[in-house]
Amino acid sequence: MKTVLKSDQDQVTRFFSHLEFDGNQLNHQPGSVLGSTALIAGTTIGAGILALPAVTLPSGVVPSTTLLIVVWLYTLVSGLLIAEVTLNAMRLEGRPSVGLLAIVEKTLGKLGARIASGAYLFMHYALLVAYITEGGDILVSAVEKLWGVQNVLPTWVGTTTFTLLFGGIMYLGRERFIQKLNSAFVAIVIVSFLGLLLLAGTQVKSTQFLFQNWSALGSSVSVMCVALFYHNVVPVVVNQLEGDIPKIRQSILIGSLIPLMMFLAWNAVILGSVSPDMLKVGAADLTIFDPLQILRSGGAGASLGVLVSIFSEFAIVTSFIGFVYGLLDFFKDISLITQGLPSRLPLYSLILFPPLSLGTLNPNIFFTALDYTGTLSVSLLGGIIPALMSWKQRQQQDILNSTNQRLVPGGKVTLIVMIAVALALIGKQILSICTQ
C-alpha cells in the first residue's frame, strides 16, 4: 500500500497503487481520469435519456431545463458524498476495494444495510430489465430493416441476443478491456448524438420554446432522478483512481456534466420539434408520445432514423455496463453468496438471468421499469443514505480526532438539505400512489 501526504494539509491524497505482474516485473497500472469519466458518463447516458422528453413534454423546455439543472446539482453533491465515505472507509479498512453496501453496513449498521440492499437490488434489476428490453427491441428492429421485413422476429430474440452479446463481452473481457471498450462506446454515443442534433435541429420551431407549464414539473422528477443516477459506480471510480481526490472530483464533475449537457440539448430539440396539437395530446396521454418515432418520421429521412438507432443502442449499452458492474460489486460485498459461487459464471447468471426472464415475459415494461425505480429508490440511495453515512462518519472521526477526507463543503447544513429534499420527494411519490 502506498500513501502520499500533503505537506500543508497532512491529508491522504492517494491510498494505494494498482500493481500487476508482467513476467518477473511489477508494473503500476493506475486507472485514468478519461476512463473513469467515461464510466460515469456512460452509466448516466442510458435509457433515461430516451424516456426524458415523454415526461417533460407537459411542462415545456424552460421549466424542464431548470429542473434538470437542479436535479443534476443534487446528484453531483450526493455522488461526491459517496466518494467521500468510500475514501474514508478505504483508509479505515486498510484495503482498496470497498463496495457501497459494505460501507453502509459499517456506518449505519445492519438495518441500514438491509434497507439500502433492498433499494439497490430493486433499482438495478428494474433498470436492467428496461435496458435489456429496449436494447433488444432496437436490435430486432435493425435486423428486420436490413432484411426488409417488419414485425417478424419475436421479442425474446432481441432480449436474449442483447443479453448474451453484451453480457458475454463483460463476462469474457478483462476490466481494462471493458473500460477501453466502454470509452469507445461513449465516443460513439457522443458522435451519433451530435449528428442527431444537427439533423433533428432542422425541425425545431422557436415558438415551442415559449410554452411553459411549471405546475406540470412534478411528474418528471422521477425519470430525471433515474436518468442522472450513476452513484453505483462511484466506489469503482474511487478504486480505479487509487483514492486520488483531485482526479476523483474531476471524473465525477465532468462525467456527470457531459450527460447533463446532452440531456438539455436532447430535451430542447425534441420538445422544440413538437407541434402544438401533439403537445396537447401528449399532455393528456404521455404513453402515445414517442420522441424516437417523431424523429424517424421527420423530414430528415432515413439517415436520421439510422442515427437514432445507433445513439439509442449504444446509450443503453454503456448504461448496461455500469449497472452490471454495480451488481457485481453488490454480490462481492455479500461474502456468504460469493463464497458459494465457485466461478464467475454463476455470478453473472445471477445478475443477468432475472432481468432477461422478466423482460422476455413482459416486453412492454420499459417505461414502467423506469417509473418504479425513480423517486423511492434513487432518493434513498442517492440522497438519504449518502448524507447519513457522511454524517455518521464525520461524527465518529471528530470523536477519534482522525483525518477526514471531505469532498463536499457546507457541513451539516448540506447534509440536512440533502435528506430533507429526498424525504420530500418520497412523500410526494407516496401521496401520488395513494391518490391514484
Q: What stretch of H or E contains 25?
A: strand 25-28
Dist CA 318 CA 332 (whole Å): 22
Cell of 75: 446528484
For residue 207, being part of any structural domain is answered with: yes
Decide if 17 is inside a domain: no
CA angle 142, 291, 79 (to 5 degrees): 95
Per DSSP, the three-state class of 421 is helix
In a domain, residue 419? The reply is yes
pLDDT tens, per residue, the chain with 436 residues? 444 444 333 344 455 555 454 455 545 456 688 888 888 887 787 667 777 887 888 888 899 999 999 999 999 999 999 998 888 887 776 665 566 777 788 888 888 888 888 888 888 888 888 888 888 888 888 777 777 666 667 778 888 889 999 888 888 877 778 888 888 888 888 888 888 888 777 777 777 788 888 888 877 887 888 888 888 788 888 888 878 888 999 999 999 999 899 899 888 888 887 654 554 444 444 444 555 665 555 444 567 777 878 888 888 888 888 788 878 877 776 655 555 555 678 788 888 888 888 777 776 666 666 666 666 777 888 889 999 988 888 887 666 555 667 788 888 899 999 999 888 888 877 777 677 6
Are 235 and 98 in contact, with CB atoms under 8 Å apart? yes
For residue 81, which of 420, 384, 426 has the smallest C-alpha distance? Answer: 384
Nearest to 320 by CA among 34, 45, 98: 45
| E strands present in 137-288 | none
CA Rg, the chain, in Å?
Answer: 22
Residue 418's CATH number: 1.20.1740.10
Count how many domains the chain has.
1
Following DSSP, what letter does each residue of 100-134 receive, concatenated? HHHHHHHHHHHHHHHHHHHHHHHHHHHHHHHHHHH
Residue 422 counted as domain residue: yes
Q: How many CA atoms lie within 13 A of 370 on its CB side?
A: 29
Does 6 map to a domain?
Answer: no
- Residue 311 domain flag: yes
In a domain, residue 9? The reply is no
Asked if the structure places residue 2 within a domain, the reply is no
Q: Of 100, 101, 121, 98, nearest to 111 (Cα)? A: 101
Q: Which domain holds residue 301?
A: 35-434
Give pTM, 2 decimals.
0.76
